[in-house]
Amino acid sequence: MKQLGTHLVADAWQSPGDLLNDPERIRRAILDAIEAGGATLIDLCVHQFSPHGVTATATLAESHIAIHTWPEHGYFAADLFFCGAGDPHKAMKVLQTALEAKQVKLTEFTRGFEPGVGILG
């Protein structure tokens, strides 16, 4: 397989609800994660839901980071896809620390294709 990137899918829990419901805290955590992972920000969108919850998506030159929070459960889900030289593991560690998640389950996928398969051969 020709590897094009690393895709991390994270489930994190036992985070303080007030942190998970703070859009500015989420924004700062993502910006710090992007820097730690060696990525380049193109755009960042953060949305606060009522009565609680935050969703944030960062478009990166190297792909993306997305996070969705459920403060009432102390839980967040994160999706980090990096291609090139960036390190999504470093970025995820920053998110875990910033949002004080005591437990994290990571699933890692290698993204890519089989050479010689597809429309370009």
Which domains are seen in the chain, by residue range? 2-105 (3.60.90.10)
The answer to pTM > 0.85 is yes
pLDDT digits (tens, 9 = 90+) for 47-82: 999 999 999 999 999 999 999 999 999 999 999 999
103 pLDDT above the threshold of 90: yes
pLDDT digits (tens, 9 = 90+) for 16-30: 999 999 999 999 999
Enumerate the active-site residues.
63, 68, 83
User: CA geometry: angle at 111 spanning 87 and 68, to 5°?
Assistant: 65
Backbone φ, ψ for residue 92 (5° rounding): -65, -35
